[in-house]
């Protein structure tokens, strides 16, 4: 224990001028971030795709929890500060700094993906191929550590500094408090400005015996380390609570915020226990024109699905067994390399896990729809899932489509494209601009155009407002039934459903009549 | 009117209608169609094992209704990685009724036993407490159906005492002690699985005490245990475990507090 050093440190802390403080549970860095899409789509995806995005990596094994909070804070680093409620006082060795690259790699690997298929021209022999995406390269950096453990102090605010560390470029305090006013005053007097709304939510955390993990940037250390970007902070602890506190973060934001949660477990998927976890529609054929605009398309899709589900759900974007020694396919198609041992170590996965399951969730939260913090559980559900969309390139024209099969192909292409447009409407809740041109692009190769195709389907269909999601049973039930009946992939379900209903009826009937 | 009288003759009819409606709502609104084969296995399994019992003279014909309810209960609450596990759950659920018996009372609600044991032992089964959305109308529907069942079964008091106690305890903890907004409290209850559980599982007349005030006290105890496990021990599926722990007391309670034995058919 270096007392002198500690006092200096404490003095520095007090001298700090008032900073603009953002409070968040996870990472309050509400700034634009890039949404890395696979291969050549990277450049096409809009950098501001999801504003207000934060990222978190969770590792959970029994009660052992590792949380890595990614920051894409874009402002002046001296303004950076965050307050995170944690269930226990963390020891120095339970806090570390990891390389930002881990988030980029996990994001690249698990992003919603676009698969590309090619038709062949039946009048010209060729093979169908599926094109895989290029792997982006990854960069690794070493963790830098030079820390000093501090002793505790009791203040008249009723705030106890349980521990104080410098980890990498951050000054970290672990506070416990008796009451919220004291904590608020302490934070204010020490240069952290608390939004008025946040005060109200401090008290419940104090009373549930949570500690406060308070972080700000140590400019000297940052200069020494030579980083210009804030690196993610990782904490490890043992506690039965498996949750992410969101409420503090909502205090300084009026709108909705996006959070991507990457989770590693030994058994299977992580799911939310107090909000419904919903799979995004996947394996849908979408119009080829979206190949260049996959990012914006996915954003529209997400917006609509979020509204449709009532704005209070957690979306599943990816779930896969990523055990390095497991021989199966890690993705289809892969949009980024699957995580490797070094990534697992960095995320906090214990090296002797024999099985690693990865889950990616996307939650868009706001004050009105998420009154309580997110709580999770680990399930043994090891079913793979990926948000995957498919574009199909039409057959190369060569000498046209004059043969009989060629004519048939062009005819089916028109119908297929109509289905793709319907799919677009179902996914995004709006008509795709340029629909008719897309659908009729190859019609000119047809020798005779069917009468009904002359009808102006989709003509002048405006790119309307996104229709509002409707959970009114009078509307939702007929719509859902209609979807089940008309979607080919669900017809099998219909047979099962009829069997189920039949079974129930027969059993009820037999429970009266049958004599064995 | 004849049909209505048939329905009223046995509260299990309402329970079957209620649980089937929720299963259908899940299939159409919550994307549960992917689990349809599992539902079939659960119901087929439960009914087949019960038929075996009927064949060997262990139960009477109308107990098929109970087996159907067990199958529906498994479908609504249990999720597994393999259909065989669903059949195992059904076997456990139905089998225990005939194995663990005291003075003609079985110790556990069949579905609760099947779910609990499978989740504990197999490592390939789980419960998703949040699979029902926070949509009030779903809650209302469940509550209404439950009301019909309980009114016919004359067991509305179990649900009422359980719900009220848990609601009160949660209010004391969340709103009064911790100081959260009332919405945090409401969020706990505006949840389909909570209501489904309260209305259909804990109120099983076969596994609740027969004497009126004893039963009410037991419901309060159950609520207290559920609260403790869920909010102080952070187990999200607490209701299942507390019921599993407390129902075995019921045959002994019934031994000391004798009352008229419950009969399904009126």
Residues in chain B within 8 Å Cβ distance of A515: 61
Give A163→chain B minimum CA distance, Å: 25
User: Is the distance from CB of A257 to CB of A251 less than 8 angstroms?
Assistant: no
Residues in chain A within 8 Å Cβ distance of B67: 507
Average pLDDT over residues A439-452: 85
Closest residue in B to A243 (Cα) is B234
pLDDT at A12: 40
ipTM of the complex: 0.89
Beta-carbon pairs below 8 A across chains A and B: 150
| pLDDT tens sequence across A187-236 | 878 777 666 777 778 888 888 889 988 888 888 888 887 777 788 999 99
pLDDT at A460: 45
pLDDT at B222: 95
The encoded tokens of residue A229 equal 């970007």
> Residue B36: which of A371, A500, A510 has the nearest Cβ?
A500
Q: Do A493 and B36 touch (CB under 8 A)?
A: yes
User: Is the distance from CB of B239 to CB of B119 less than 8 angstroms?
Assistant: no
Residue among A504, A505, A512, A513 with most chain B CBs within 10 A, to mutate: A504
Asked whether residue A394 is assigned to any structural domain, the reply reads: no
Task: Output A290 or B105, whichever has higher pLDDT.
Answer: A290
- Of B136-140, B202-206, B227-231, the one with minimum mean pLDDT is B136-140
Distance of CA A318 to the CA centre of its chain: 9
> Residue A490: which of B13, B33, B63 has the nearest Cβ?
B33
> Residue A511: which of B27, B62, B124 has the nearest Cβ?
B62
Residues in chain A within 8 Å Cβ distance of B13: 508
Based on the fold, state whether residues A122 and A216 are members of the same structural domain. yes
- CA–CA separation, B16 and A379 (whole Å): 29
Residues in chain B within 8 Å Cβ distance of A277: 128, 130-131
Q: Do A277 and B30 touch (CB under 8 A)?
A: no
> What is the DSSP track for A32-83?
------SGGGTTTS-TTSSSSEEEEEEEEETTEEEEEEE----S-GGG-EEE
Q: pTM to 2 decimals?
A: 0.83
pLDDT at A37: 24
Q: Do A511 and B64 touch (CB under 8 A)?
A: yes
Residue with tokens 């003609």, as numbered in its chain:
B104
pLDDT at A251: 65
- CA–CA separation, B95 and B45 (whole Å): 11
Give A278→chain B minimum CA distance, Å: 8
Closest residue in B to A201 (Cα) is B180
Based on the fold, state whether residues A218 and A332 are members of the same structural domain. yes
Neighbours of B208 (CB within 10 A): 26
Based on the fold, state whether residues A305 and A422 are members of the same structural domain. no
The encoded tokens of residue B34 equal 């992917």
Residue A136 confidence (pLDDT) above 70: no
| pLDDT tens sequence across A253-263 | 667 888 899 99
> What's the Cα-to-Cα distance from A24 to each of A198, A251, A502, B103, rounded to whole Å?
9, 8, 52, 58
Give A53→chain B minimum CA distance, Å: 24
Q: Do B129 and A274 touch (CB under 8 A)?
A: yes
pLDDT at A264: 97
SS3 call for B173? helix
> Residue A380: which of B34, B81, B180 has the nearest Cβ?
B81
| The Cα angle at residue A489 between residues A485 and A495, in degrees rounded to 5 | 60
User: Is the distance from CB of B15 to CB of B200 less than 8 angstroms?
Assistant: yes
| pLDDT tens sequence across B11-34 | 888 888 888 888 888 887 777 888
Closest residue in A to B70 (Cα) is A504
pLDDT band with cut points at 50, 70 and 90 for residue A479: low
> Residue A382: which of B81, B130, B188 has the nearest Cβ?
B81
Residues in chain B within 8 Å Cβ distance of A383: 81
Q: Is the peptide bond before A496 cis (omega within 30 degrees of 0)?
A: no
Based on the fold, state whether residues A173 and A215 are members of the same structural domain. yes
Based on the fold, state whether residues A450 and A493 are members of the same structural domain. no
pLDDT at A153: 44
pLDDT at A413: 92
Give A82→chain B minimum CA distance, Å: 21
Closest residue in A to B12 (Cα) is A508
pLDDT at A185: 82
Using a pLDDT cut of 70, give the percent of chain A over it.
72
- CA–CA separation, A311 and A37 (whole Å): 25
What is the domain count for chain A? Answer: 3
Based on the fold, state whether residues A53 and A185 are members of the same structural domain. yes
pLDDT at A51: 58
Give B115→chain A minimum CA distance, Å: 14
pLDDT band with cut points at 50, 70 and 90 for residue A252: low
pLDDT at B89: 96
The overall average pLDDT reported for chain A is: 75
Of A364, A388, A412, the domain-final residue? A388
pLDDT at B221: 96
> What's the Cα-to-Cα distance from B10 to each of A420, A506, B59, rounded to whole Å?
51, 17, 16
The encoded tokens of residue B196 equal 């489904």
pLDDT at A495: 84
Give B31→chain A minimum CA distance, Å: 9
Based on the fold, state whether residues A139 and A200 are members of the same structural domain. yes
pLDDT band with cut points at 50, 70 and 90 for residue B135: low
Asked whether residue A51 is assigned to any structural domain, the reply reads: yes
| pLDDT tens sequence across A326-371 | 877 777 777 778 888 889 999 999 888 999 999 999 999 988 889 8
Q: Do B65 and A276 touch (CB under 8 A)?
A: no
Q: Do B130 and A272 touch (CB under 8 A)?
A: yes
- CA–CA separation, A503 and A484 (whole Å): 20
Average pLDDT over residues A138-162: 46
Give B162→chain A minimum CA distance, Å: 20
Q: Do A313 and B133 touch (CB under 8 A)?
A: yes
Top-ranked range on mean pLDDT: pick from A9-18, A128-137, A175-184, B93-102: B93-102
| The Cα angle at residue B180 between residues B174 and B183, in degrees rounded to 5 | 90
> Residue B179: which of A207, A312, A508 has the nearest Cβ?
A207
User: Is the distance from CB of B48 to CB of B92 less than 8 angstroms?
Assistant: no
Of A358, A388, A418, the domain-final residue? A388
Domain boundaries, chain B: 2-127, 138-256
Q: Do B135 and A477 touch (CB under 8 A)?
A: no
Residue B149 confidence (pLDDT) above 90: no
pLDDT at A65: 95
pLDDT band with cut points at 50, 70 and 90 for residue B66: very high
Give B79→chain A minimum CA distance, Å: 8
| pLDDT tens sequence across A16-53 | 333 333 333 333 332 222 222 222 222 222 333 565 67
- CA–CA separation, A362 and A278 (whole Å): 10
Asked whether residue A393 is assigned to any structural domain, the reply reads: no
Residue A428 confidence (pLDDT) above 90: no
DSSP-derived letter for residue A28 is: -
| pLDDT tens sequence across B150-183 | 777 778 889 889 999 999 999 999 889 888 888 8
- Of A349-363, A479-493, B82-96, the one with minimum mean pLDDT is A479-493
pLDDT at A127: 37
- CA–CA separation, A210 and A206 (whole Å): 5
> Residue A504: which of B68, B123, B237 has the nearest Cβ?
B68
Domain that holds residue A482: 472-516
The overall average pLDDT reported for chain B is: 87
Of A368, A388, A408, the domain-final residue? A388
- CA–CA separation, B133 and A121 (whole Å): 48
Asked whether residue A230 is assigned to any structural domain, the reply reads: yes
pLDDT at B48: 95
pLDDT band with cut points at 50, 70 and 90 for residue B1: low
Residue A516 confidence (pLDDT) above 50: no
Residue A173 confidence (pLDDT) above 70: yes
SS3 call for A374? strand
> What's the Cα-to-Cα distance from A400 to each of A121, A395, A454, rounded to whole Å?
9, 10, 22
Residue with tokens 């045959």, as numbered in its chain:
B251
Residues in chain B within 8 Å Cβ distance of A490: 33
Q: Phi first, then psi: what are they for A84, rounded to 5°?
A: -125, 125
Task: Output A490 or B60, whichever has higher pLDDT.
Answer: B60
């Amino acid at each position: 224990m270096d007392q002198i050093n500690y006092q200096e440190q404490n003095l520095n802390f007090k001298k700090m001028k008032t900073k603009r403080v953002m409070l968040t549970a996870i990472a309050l860095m509400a700034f634009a971030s890039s949404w890395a899409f696979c291969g050549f789509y990277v450049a096409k995806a809009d950098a501001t795709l999801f504003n207000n995005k934060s990222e978190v990596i969770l590792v959970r094994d029994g009660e052992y929890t590792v949380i890595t909070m990614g920051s894409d804070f874009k402002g002046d680093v001296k303004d950076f500060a965050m307050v995170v409620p944690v269930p226990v006082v963390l020891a120095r060795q339970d806090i570390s700094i990891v390389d930002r690259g881990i988030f980029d790699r996990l994001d690249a690997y698990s992003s919603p993906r676009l698969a590309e298929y090619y038709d062949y021209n039946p009048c010209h022999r060729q093979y169908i191929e599926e094109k895989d995406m290029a792997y982006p390269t990854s960069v690794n950096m070493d963790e830098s550590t030079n820390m000093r453990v501090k002793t505790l102090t009791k203040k008249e605010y009723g705030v106890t500094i349980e521990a104080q560390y410098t980890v990498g470029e951050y000054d970290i305090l672990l506070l416990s408090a008796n009451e919220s006013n004291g904590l608020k005053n302490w934070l204010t007097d020490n240069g952290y400005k608390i939004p008025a709304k946040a005060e109200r939510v401090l008290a419940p955390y104090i009373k549930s015996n949570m500690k406060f993990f308070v972080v700000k940037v140590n400019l000297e250390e940052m200069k020494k380390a030579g980083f210009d970007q804030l690196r993610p902070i990782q904490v490890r602890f043992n506690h039965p609570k498996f949750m992410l506190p969101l409420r503090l973060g909502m205090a300084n934001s009026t709108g909705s915020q996006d959070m991507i949660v990457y989770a590693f477990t030994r058994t299977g998927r992580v799911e939310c226990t107090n909000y419904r976890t919903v799979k995004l529609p996947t394996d849908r054929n979408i119009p080829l024109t979206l190949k260049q605009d996959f990012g914006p398309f996915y954003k529209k899709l997400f917006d609509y699905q979020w509204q449709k589900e009532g704005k209070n759900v957690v979306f599943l974007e990816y779930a896969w067994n990523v055990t390095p020694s497991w021989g199966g396919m890690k993705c289809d198609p892969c949009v980024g390399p699957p995580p490797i041992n070094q990534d697992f170590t960095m995320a906090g996965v214990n090296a002797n896990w024999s099985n690693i399951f990865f889950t990616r969730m996307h939650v868009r939260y706001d004050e009105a729809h998420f009154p309580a913090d997110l709580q999770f559980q680990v399930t043994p559900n090891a079913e793979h899932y990926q948000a995957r969309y498919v574009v199909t390139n039409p057959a190369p024209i060569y000498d046209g489509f004059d043969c009989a099969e060629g004519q048939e192909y062009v005819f089916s292409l028109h119908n297929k494209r109509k289905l793709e447009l319907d799919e677009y409407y179902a996914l995004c809740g709006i008509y795709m601009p340029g629909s008719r041109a897309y659908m009729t692009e190859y019609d000119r190769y047809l020798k005779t155009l069917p009468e009904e195709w002359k009808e102006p389907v989709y003509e002048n269909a405006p790119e309307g407002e996104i229709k509002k999601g409707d959970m009114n049973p009078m509307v939702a039930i007929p719509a859902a039934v209609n979807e089940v009946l008309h979607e080919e992939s669900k017809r099998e379900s219909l047979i099962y459903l009829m069997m189920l209903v039949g079974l129930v009826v027969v059993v009820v009937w037999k429970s009266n009549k049958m004599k064995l | 009117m004849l049909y209505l009288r048939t329905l009223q003759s046995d509260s299990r009819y309402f329970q079957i209608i209620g649980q089937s409606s929720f299963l259908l709502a899940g299939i159409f609104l919550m994307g549960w169609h992917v689990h349809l084969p599992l539902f079939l296995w659960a119901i087929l399994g439960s009914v087949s094992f019960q038929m075996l019992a009927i064949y060997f003279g262990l139960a009477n014909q109308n107990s098929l209704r109970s087996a159907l309810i067990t199958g529906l209960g498994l479908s609504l609450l249990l999720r597994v990685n393999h259909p065989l596990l669903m059949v195992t759950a059904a076997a456990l659920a139905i089998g225990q009724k005939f194995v663990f018996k005291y003075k003609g009372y079985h110790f556990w609600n069949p579905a609760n036993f099947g779910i609990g044991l499978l989740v504990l032992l197999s490592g390939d089964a789980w419960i998703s407490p949040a699979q029902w959305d926070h949509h009030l109308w779903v809650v209302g529907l469940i509550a209404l159906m439950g009301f019909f069942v309980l009114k016919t079964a004359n067991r509305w008091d179990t649900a009422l005492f359980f719900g009220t106690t848990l609601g009160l305890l949660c209010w004391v903890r969340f709103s009064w002690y911790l100081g959260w907004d009332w919405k945090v409290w409401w969020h706990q209850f505006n949840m389909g699985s909570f209501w489904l559980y309260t209305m259909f599982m804990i109120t099983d007349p076969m596994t609740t005490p027969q004497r009126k005030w004893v039963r009410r006290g037991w419901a309060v105890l159950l609520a207290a245990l559920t609260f403790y496990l869920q909010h102080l021990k952070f187990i999200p599926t607490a209701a299942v475990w507390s019921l599993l722990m407390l129902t075995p007391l019921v045959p002994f309670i019934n031994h000391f507090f004798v009352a008229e034995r419950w009969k399904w058919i009126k």
